[in-house]
Structure 1
Amino acid sequence: MGERREKLKSLLALNTIPGLGARRIRILLDHFKDPEEIFKCGRGDLLVIEGIGQASALSILSFDRWDETERVLDRLSSSGIKMMGLTDDDYPPLLKQIFDPPSLLWIRGSRSALSLPGIAVVGTREPSRYGKETTVSLGKELSEAGMCINSGLAYGIDTIAHHTALRCMGKTVAVLGSGIDRIYPGRNRFLVKQIVESGGAVITEFPPGTKPDAGNFPVRNRIVSGLSVGVLIVESGVQGGSMITAEQALDQNREVFAVPHPLKNISGSGCNYLIKTGAAKLVQGVGDILEEIPGYNKQNKMAGRKPSLSRKNQDWRKESLNGLQQQICECLSEEQIQIDHLAEKLELDTGKLLVSLLELEMRDLVVQRAGKIFALRE
């Protein structure tokens, strides 16, 4: 516990340094592996890291608010709030794959809920009757299929999605754009209590006391999509938070789904635009979503049950493969993996890697799933 506390203290310190940000912290953690080492190194050690300039190095070297971080950790032990660091073994694997994963998460509820196969369900704060009914219908079927419903706790579609998951005895995760102690909107405090008591979770990367400022919500949205295997836009105009979430999901190689709307429904014009431009798959029923979920098994239609993601096929060992193809299959025999992460693991250019993956797909040894995730064919 002492060792983990020291790691959390160092992560908390990094998050309090102005201007450092999630991306630079990720770069530092990739370089040092252990967050405590960052504060023990010298100026030269920091400056050789690409992306860490003079200002960032000076901010790290001059940090002296250790007493404050100790007090925060002491308060946590009696508050029921948990902290999860990027270096923790149970950090959600999908979220870890994004460009700028939060190095620290504040959590109420179940840590394990963050790693459940989930679908983000988002939309307008002022949904039409059609939007409300569609959210309930699709949310119910997704929950019954064992998918965790991830959303942002906002009024409208988000709140309906969370409530629907709870009514179906499913799991749901709410991501805040404020501190864990500043529930926004305030009317959803009881909903937060229900989510936590049901085995779900309420999380944020913002430290306690952070107000729900407008600029926090686009930042929050990348976590909603990052936790999820796909994002469902139920009802949205052409501008707003849901469209930002869709854009971030595409950047994260996540599948985007959208519900079509009548032409006169302005609040659904964003969904139609996503479908028209090919940015989202048109959804007429829950099957349109589930068929894109990696390894989804239709027999696993029990609320809260995790879809089977097994891919231990060893047939590739019997094939005549070159060295790179063998390396790829070795990696995929351990886990399904997103292409950028695979390229990093094998220290290869993505373009070169894609050529070999295509060859393996053509030989029916590898399959590509939503979000450019590759796995051995079962």
Structure 2
Amino acid sequence: MNQHLNYLLALHYAPRVGSQTLLSLSSQFKNLEELFQASNSQLKFLKLEEETIAWIKNPNWSCIEKELEWLGEKNHHLVTFNDPNYPQFLKEISSPPFLFFASGNVDILNNPAIAVVGSRNPTSSGLELADYFAQELAAKDFAIISGMALGIDGAAHRGALKAKGKTVAVLGSGLKNIYPASHQKLFGSILENDGTVISEFPLDTPPLKQNFPMRNRVISGLSLGVLIIEASLKSGSLITAKYALNQNREVFAVPGSIRNPLSTGPHYLIQQGAKLVTCIEDILEEINPALLASSLPIKKIIPAKSEEKLDLDHRKLLNCIEYELTAIDQLIERSGLTAEKVTAILITLELEGYIQTAMNGYSRV
């Protein structure tokens, strides 16, 4: 049995351990068994949280056994940052996942790809557009990346499958906890058609709200560009667009009726410099083979606003966030706000450029 894998999975499962901590500890301990045999004082010297230390001293090995059993099944993979098949584009972002689980064909993760994202509650026109653009892009041999959510995401995956193309779903839950449950059939269709579904979270992780912004950075990180179809100004799709710009990816937006509230997100992005898209050629003229070998131009989108414009609760929570990572439960405790309120405010603060997210918390920009 691969002892290194056992300890790596145990560390990944530990509370308060995100990608940056995994990367740091894996660099310091080539043999992770030494970390798990370290004394409490040695672990405290590494500036690990008490919960993390408690887990390292007494891991729940039954959880790890279940993950090992899953990995033993056909077409189930664990891809780590140092693996040769780790997606090169994803490796280049500022906070790549140190590892992720994958079900399906991991080879396509290095294919030229376009992300297609948008509202969970789109209009029928929005669904048709997502299907159309995904089909056309897949027919041009681009993999279609999305989040397998209801609405635009699901339509994008299905459009790629109609064109007999490749598609990748990036989840905000674990791969043994498919969300939404109504997309179990879509999950199966993606795998049956040589696609893949990935997640950086432990296999049984529920779809927690704080997971989705982290998921979004992976969607954009795997892609040459991100296409937004129907989204409100508070949509997570705009967070994906912000990540795309920070990662030097292209951002595309499909305009819509000024009477449609779901046009406000794409129109805002277009006003800020995103490429207005009405046909497949608008994307193809920006995305070409040369982009695979060079950095994409940086465009300034979604500028940060003055803190004076924030309301009391937003400023209160922002003042609780440090330049070092701060966990969401610490923010709830410090602010005295409800978990639901904190989650909603965090999305707004990230969208407006005040904060950024990582695997195990938030930090000021």
Same fold, judged at TM 0.5 (above): yes
Asked whether the 8 Å contact 1:117–1:229 carries over to 2, the reply is: yes
**Structure 1 Cα separation of the partners of residues 287 and 5 of structure 2:** 34
Q: In the alignment, is residue 295 of structure 1 matched against residue 292 of structure 2?
A: no
User: Residue 79 of structure 2 aligns to which amino acid in structure 1?
Assistant: M
Q: Note the residue ranges of structure 2 that are not aligned, 5 or more in a row.
A: 298-365
CA deviation profile, 1:351-370 (whole Å, cap 9, x unmatched)? xxxxxxxxxxxxxxxxxxxx
Q: Shift of residue 132 of structure 1?
A: 2.0
From 257, 274, 279, give the equivalent of 1:285: 279
Query: Could you tell me which residue of structure 2 aligns to residue 261 of structure 1?
Result: 256
User: Does 82-91 or 34-43 show the bigger shift?
Assistant: 34-43
Q: Which position in structure 2 is the counterpart of 1:24?
A: 21
- Counterpart mapping for 1:186-205 below 5 A: 186-205=181-200
Q: How many residues align?
A: 297
Q: Which runs of 5+ in 1 are unaligned?
A: 297-307, 312-335, 340-378
Q: Which residue of 122, 128, 132 corresponds with 2:123? A: 128
- Which residue of 2 is the match for residue 368 of structure 1? none
The answer (yes or no) to whether the contact 1:234–1:259 under 8 Å persists in 2 is yes
| TM norm structure 2 | 0.72
Q: Distance in 2 between matches of 1:255 and 1:40?
A: 46
Contact 1:237 1:270 in 2 (8 A): yes
Per the alignment, do residues 86 and 201 of structure 1 end up closer, same or farther by CA in structure 2, a change over 3 Å counting? Answer: same
Across the aligned residues of Structure 1 and Structure 2, the Cα RMSD in angstroms comes to 2.8
Structure number with greater Rg is 1
Against the structure 1 CA distance between its residues 151 and 54, is the aligned structure 2 distance closer, same or farther, given a 3 Å change threshold? Answer: closer
Structure 1 residue 34, shift from structure 2 partner: 6.6
For the residues of structure 1 that align with 2:13 and 2:49, how far apart are their CA atoms?
Answer: 18
Mapped contact 1:121–1:158 kept (Cα < 8 A)? yes
Q: Which one of the candidate residues 6, 9, 14 is aligned to 2:6?
A: 9
* 1:238 paired to 2:233: yes
Q: Give the distance between the partners of 1:207 and 1:161, measured in 2 at CA.
A: 26
Contact 1:175 1:204 in 2 (8 A): yes
- List per-residue Cα deviations over 1:75-103 (Å, max 9, x = no partner): 43147532222221101111122222222
CA shift for structure 1 position 125: 1.2
Residues 43 and 61 in structure 1, CA contact (< 8 A), matched pair in contact too: no
Match of 2:285, as an amino acid? E
TM, length-normalised to structure 1: 0.70
CA–CA separation in structure 2 for the residues paired with 1:68 and 1:267 = 42
| Superposed displacement of residue 213, structure 1 | 2.4
Q: How does 1:1-378 map to 2 (within 5 A)?
A: 5-30=2-27, 38-39=35-36, 52=47, 58=53, 62=57, 64-66=59-61, 68-78=63-73, 81-278=76-273, 280-295=274-289, 336=294
CA distance in 2 between partners of 1:228 and 1:59 (Å): 38
Structure 1 residue 40: Cα displacement: 6.5
Contact 1:81 1:106 in 2 (8 A): yes
Q: CA deviation at 1:44?
A: 8.7
Letter paired with 1:174: A
8 Å Cα contact 1:121/1:233 also seen in 2: yes
| In 2: Cα distance, 1:99 partner to 1:261 partner | 33
CA pair 54-81 structure 1, distance change in 2 beyond 3 A: closer
Instruction: Give the deviation of 1:62 after TM superposition.
Output: 2.9
> Are the structure 2 counterparts of residues 284 and 89 from structure 1 closer, same or farther at C-alpha, using a change threshold of 3 Å?
same
Corresponding residue SS for 1:256: strand
Distance 1:136 1:61 in 2: 46
Is residue 235–residue 268 contact of structure 1 (8 Å, CA) maintained in 2? Answer: yes
Helix, strand or coil: the match of 2:289? coil
Of 208-217 and 179-188, deviating more is: 208-217
Aligned-pair CA distance for 1:9? 2.4
Distance 1:111 1:35, change over 3 A: farther
Query: Partners of 2:221 and 2:179 in 1: how far apart?
Result: 21
Relative to 1, partners in 2 of residues 1:7 and 1:97: Cα closer, same or farther, differing over 3 Å?
A: farther
C-alpha contact 2:11 2:56 (8 A) present in aligned 1: no
1:313-370 Cα distance to aligned partner (Å, 9 max, x none) = xxxxxxxxxxxxxxxxxxxxxxx5689xxxxxxxxxxxxxxxxxxxxxxxxxxxxxxx
Quote how far apart the aligned CAs of 1:241 are.
1.4
Separation in structure 2 between the aligned mates of residue 290 and residue 36 of structure 1, nearest angstrom: 49
CA contact (8 A) 2:117 2:152 kept: yes
